[in-house]
Amino acid sequence: MTETPQPLYDRHADTLNRALTAITERGYWSAYPESPSPRVYGETAAADGKAAFEAYLGGDFPLDQPGAGDRVATETSPFGVELAVRYPHAGPGELVSAAAAALPAWRDAGPQARVGVCLEILDRLHKNIFELANAVQFTSGQAFVMAFQAGGAHALDRALEALAYAYAEMTRHPGTAGWEKAAGKGDPLRMTKTFHVVPRGVALVIGCNTFPTWNSYPGLFASLVTGNPVIVKPHPRAVLPLAITVKYAREVLAEAGFDPNLIMLAAEAPGEKLASDLALHRSVKIVDFTGSTEYGDWLETHARQASVYTEKAGLNTVVIDSTDDFAGMCRNLGFTLTLYSGQMCTTSQNILIPAGGIETDQGHKSFDEVAGGIAAAVGKLTADPARGVELTGAIVNDGVLERLAEVTKVGEPVLESRVVAHPAYADAVVRTPTIVKLAADDAETYGREWFGPISFAIATDSTAQSLELLRRTVGEKGALTAGVYSTDEAVLDATEAVAVEVGVHLSCNLTGGVFVNQSAAFSDFHGSGANAAANSALTDGAYVANRFRIVQSRRHV
């Protein structure tokens, strides 16, 4: 049965209103439970979701959209599972033309109708969260619980956050207004003014391999709800999570009476360069990208007809000055470096420690003892393969393995990376983190990004030099996260001043269950747009407001 958009808005109005409150209060709130427990989702949800995922393997993905006559299959699972899913393939012209044709009715439906449909899409995805989590796990290499949380619940939260910001911006101005101005002794001038929310045009989302949903959903839903049709171009190695997303979104759009070509999958054939061709198309007016600095810079330079939002790479840094919980600090950093084998754009790479050591609750600790304490925490988390792989997951691509081989030729290892046999998937590619000692003058090494389970313990002359290195490296190359450990308020204040100067989000003295490489929707911003690692933030008003324009008409009364 086809549902009209207004009942969809009414159905989800409470969720929207709670999200609108959350983005102003900035406290903890989540609309989607992050625990995959049967007590939360039901006894059969996990098995049903896995069966739905497995039904896609080795077959044609069920997506009826332009280009359905040609199919491509490009995915290889880091766990060694045979995927072989074949996706519809189309050229840029077909996709853009179909998207542009779908725009007018979606534009004219208005903000309330669009947000109702988008909230229904999120609800549909949530009902199929286990299916989505399996797709994220077996394409990205994340362990299942992380895939469920980051690729499912947290990704949906980030999408809802983007919807809330976009709805707030679209409804900031009234739809109509009466205008009256005195005109001397005659009748006043009277006009009626109408303000239309007008989308920019076709939007393109370029997905990444590591977090295909978490990184794509904010831009996807920010563009869609503001009236822009969206072409979703997944990473060739992580197509299935976004294909599932497009599938359910198209179902909801059709049920609500809209053209399902408002969202389409752009699966890429090997060597095709489809992302670049789409990004430069004259009708593509918005581009969202997560990935390498090189390609992000290329998009910013060349996709001049579009508004381009990029999250790239940087030198995430931790400054260690002192601590009143040495064991907690080591455990916290050890978990940070171990989680998903460091394959997160927020994981710390450079750990700056005074060469003379630090003061702790356990007495003075030398540089080697600090580095060794962090290494021991990583070692403890990864010692048992059966438990360790639930944190490390699998290595996402050969580029990470190449960097792991390269890093053995620099510095002195504090902790060497190990090959781990996955107890459930014999062909899984698993590596534990490595930590390498460097000197402050080894900037040629630590001054570039080493994406993966690679971190450097860098000996500095003092905390003052550590702060100067933080300022210089992040100022030049950018970063998404920074951390500091100190018992001295003056050091904390000085580090915060540097973080503000170079535009990086700072975490202070994390020793418990919050980690520097995690960010919570509705409270934490991800990226700042204030340094080279990203030109935008997830999610704020600036992230959504430029995806539409206000066009007015006025008439005399």
Query: Identity (one letter) of the amino acid at 536?
Result: S
Q: Report the C-alpha gap between 392 and 512 in whole angstroms.
A: 19
Mean pLDDT of 72-90: 97
Angle between helices 5-25 and 111-127 (to 10 degrees): 80
Q: E-assigned strands of 19-77?
A: 71-72
Helix H, strand E, coil C: the string for 72-95 is: ECCCCCCCCCCCCCEEECCCHHHH
- The tokens for 385 are 């393969």
Question: Within 13 Å and on the Cβ side, how many CA atoms surround 38?
Answer: 5
For residue 556, what is the enclosing H or E element? Answer: strand 548-556
What pLDDT digit, counting tens, does each position of 10-26 carry? 999 999 999 999 999 99
Listing DSSP states for 102-118 in one string gives HHHHHHHH-HHHHHHHH
Percent of the chain topping pLDDT 90: 97
pLDDT tens digits, 420-451: 999 999 999 999 999 999 999 999 999 999 99
First to last CA, the chain: 42
Question: If you average pLDDT over every residue of the chain, what do you get?
Answer: 96
Cβ atoms of residues 343 and 396 within 8 Å:
yes
Residue 129 — very low, low, confident or very high, per pLDDT cuts 50/70/90?
A: very high
CB 309 within 8 A of CB 472: no
Q: Whole-model pTM?
A: 0.96
pLDDT, tens only, 273-317: 999 999 999 999 999 999 999 999 999 999 999 999 999 989 999
Which position has the token pair 């590591």?
210
Work out the average pLDDT over 461-474. 98
Examine the pLDDT at 28 and tell me if it is beyond 50.
yes
How would residue 1 be classed by pLDDT, with cut points 50, 70 and 90?
very low
pLDDT on residue 69: 75
